[in-house]
Amino acid sequence: MPHDLFLKIAVNCPLRRSFDYLPPKQVNELPVPGTRVSVPFGNRKLTGIVIATTATSDLPANKLRHVETVLDSTPIVSTTMMQLATWMSDYYQHPIGECFAILLPSLLRKGEKQVDLSENGWQLTDSGKNFRPAANAIQQQKAIDYFQSNARLNDDDKGAAGISLSALKNLVKKNILHQYTEQPAKVDFTAAHIHHSPFGLNTQQAGLIRRFEAQPPGFRPILLEGITGSGKTEIYLQLIERVLLAGKQALVLVPEIGLTPQTIARFQKRFDCAMAVFHSNLTDQQRLRYWQQSQAGIARIIIGTRSALFTATEDLGIIIIDEEHDLSYKQQDGLRYSARDLACVRAKIEQIPVVLGSATPSLETLNNADTQKFEHWELTERAGNASPATVELVDIRNQPMVDGLAESVLPHIAHCLQQQQQALVFINRRGFAPTLICHDCGWVSQCEACDARMTLHLRAQHLRCHHCQAVSPIPMQCPTCQSTELVYQGAGTERLESTLKQHFPDAPLFRIDRDTTAGKQTMQNMLAQIHQQPSAILVGTQMLAKGHHFPNVTLVVILEADSALMGTDYRATERFGQLVTQIIGRAGREEKAGHALIQTHYPDHMQLQKLVHHGYRRLAMDLLSQRRELGLPPFSFQALIRLEARDAQDAINLLQRLQQSISHLPIIAIGPYPANLQRRAHYFRFQLMLQAHQRAQLKYAVGILLDTATALIKPAQHRFSVDIDPQDVS
């Protein structure tokens, strides 16, 4: 092929530009934009994506290399998703190849072929309808129970149902089940595929649906602000129903993997259609299969955590972001994107509605609603007969404490259990105790690699650093003075669990944190057990605050609220208000009244009083006024430059040189200053905060700084990152 055209390729590498290549030697037709290609890159072969063809190149043709292989016969990345990747690269000032790579499942990034979508399925035979497994055949019984309410079970659903493949094979051998293979097909969605809710919409909900229907299709950013338990999910379902009936797909983002099974169950009860579910526990093969089903339009509803935003679709009709305020929507390493913000960008490119739902909206989203950039929908009443929980501040000054729990709180828990109800006790720290200390000499269990203390995990019998994950055995004696008087200080979920078991030995107790929910089905199984218990105690971290529905929880106890209220980050009070409001919202979600107890040393604290007596919205509006006066986001724009080095002075010197490169620009540069955790995993961590009144000013400054950093930063010695719109500035 003559060299009259060149290919611009986004190669998955950390360089901030695309690369020009010559077309493949033995191919008569040029690969079109959106297709994957294999290219030589240095002495390696990498996978890239064609982003354009061009008649010119900055390099002469004899200096360019040929594309080696075209991996796709048709584009694998749509025009709209290419626009999204290009926008990401420009906005976050991130290598374009990595922005394109994030659009694809890992197998496709590696150049693998797409998978065959045919799948196995099982259904009961006639002889299996009356089959009763042996008493010890627990897995077989689980399978039979599944078929009592489901006609079929497919490959993808068996994991979620907790049914093993070996049990299914045994039942097939016994002719209890029939196994089949089928090719999934796109099904036209009709009203027959909808199972309507037994509950009607209340006046507020019905009004919002009419408001949605009154507007023509197109880009519509909508803040759905509804108090906890007000029926936001029902609004989501109603909107999705209208999108599906129009022949389009729906994308739903949830902040926590633990919410995914709960969301799926709710959606499956309403809609009889194929769904693709994305979360971090999927295998690479499962992720690719779901991605292809979504791209082909087979999956009508796509549900997942942050990265599900990049799923390819055939005809997307709406994006919904549940709990839009949640920090987990912000990627904290690599490409530090905000899934919430990118969802709005994708919706604008696709010209579809995007709904941001929350009982405690972020200040950025509230400001967008107040300035009428977003529509503002409100639900101010709890659904059904539920009423808001009453809130009481527990002054723990001079009060007897039991492992972080005020003695005066224990009778409340006892009364709750006597009423055959459930109590939720919240502490945002896992482990048994945050500190192991020598009573004689004051030695503290310090991490050797970090400026942090090792947390005691008694059940696992080790000390663990929650920052670098270093583990060491629990010492039998003090390594400094050899004393055996080692004592625990502070409390975590594990210690709280032990204490509550001592006080309430007969009550079922469930601890929900990262340590107890590490398995694939553990969280789902634990939630199922909780729903089966009339009375129980739930102990957990913020995982419990993220949208879970516990109909029998009537009492919430919040421990160590002061630590969140006193955070050094200027967003600390906002996060405190969101977290406390969300936790309180777990109580009294149905007919039973809810009550919340907040333990504090500062019952008269102005912000705490404001939250308790006037609610999150009042607190948020006051915080917005403060941000406006101080010129903080969302009334200015920030970028956080992070640099880590083995030598602290080296990091400081480099950041000072970067700061000097932009000192002539009209922006504020704060630093270099140490991160709150100055040393982590043997690296010293320093930061430089950039702030500007106009986004264009900030973008220009970051561009100059990155050019300077390219010449100064040594990847083997330094860890360097740029975080646009940082959410964690500590």
Per-residue pLDDT of 176-235, as tens digits, reads: 888 888 888 888 888 888 888 767 888 999 999 999 999 998 999 999 999 887 889 999
Residue 547 has pLDDT above 70, yes or no: no
- pLDDT for 511 equals 86
**99 appears as a binding residue in the annotation:** no
Element (H, E) at 579: helix 572-584
Q: 22 vs 152, which has greater pLDDT? A: 22
For residue 533, which amino acid is it?
Answer: Q
**Interatomic CA distance for residues 672 and 665, integer angstroms:** 17
Assess whether the region 191-379 and the region 637-724 belong to the same CATH fold.
Answer: no
**600-627 tens-digit pLDDT:** 999 999 999 999 999 999 999 999 999 9
What does the chain come to in residues? 730
Does domain 191-379 fall into CATH 3.40.50.300? yes
Average pLDDT over residues 644-649: 95
**15-63 tens-digit pLDDT:** 999 999 999 987 778 899 999 999 999 999 999 999 999 888 888 888 8
Choice among 44-53, 60-69, 288-297 with the minimum mean pLDDT: 60-69
If we measure between CA atoms, which residue out of 85, 94, 98, 78 comes closest to residue 33? 78
Q: Which fold has domain 390-431+492-626?
A: Rossmann fold (3.40.50)
- pLDDT for 520 equals 61
- C-alpha torsion angle, residues 165, 169, 171, 174 (rounded to 10): -170
Residue with tokens 């501040």: 393
Beta bridge partners of 39: 46
Measured on CA atoms in the order 282, 283, 287, 289, is the torsion positive or negative? Answer: negative
Average pLDDT over residues 461-471: 89
- pLDDT for 431 equals 66
Element (H, E) at 206: helix 203-214
Residue 683 has pLDDT above 60, yes or no: yes
**Which CATH architecture best describes the domain 119-182?**
Orthogonal Bundle (1.10)
Chain center to CA of 215: 31
**13 appears as a binding residue in the annotation:** no
| CATH number belonging to domain 637-724 | 3.30.70.600
Whether omega before 434 lies within 30 degrees of 0, making that bond cis, reads no
Q: 401 vs 364, which has greater pLDDT? A: 364
Q: 372 vs 261, which has greater pLDDT? A: 372
Residue with tokens 């003075």: 481
Residue with tokens 């050899």: 482
| CATH number belonging to domain 6-110 | 3.40.1440.60
Is pTM beyond 0.85? Reply is: yes
Q: 376 vs 162, which has greater pLDDT? A: 376
Band (pLDDT 50/70/90 cuts) for residue 358 is very high
Average pLDDT over residues 497-526: 82
Q: Which residues of 331-346 are buried (b: 16+ CB within 10 A; e: fewer)?
A: beeeebbbbbbbbbbb
Whether omega before 40 lies within 30 degrees of 0, making that bond cis, reads no
Domain coordinates of the chain in residue numbers? 6-110, 119-182, 191-379, 390-431+492-626, 435-489, 637-724
- pLDDT for 1 equals 44
Q: Is 85 helix (H, G, I), strand (E, B) or coil?
A: helix
**273 appears as a binding residue in the annotation:** no
**447 appears as a binding residue in the annotation:** yes
**239-287 tens-digit pLDDT:** 999 999 999 999 999 987 766 667 788 888 899 898 998 987 788 998 9
Beta bridge partners of 536: 422
Helix residue spans in 600-722 (DSSP H)? 606-630, 648-661, 695-712
Burial label for 269, CB within 10 Å (0-12, 13-18, 19+), is: exposed
Average pLDDT over residues 633-657: 96
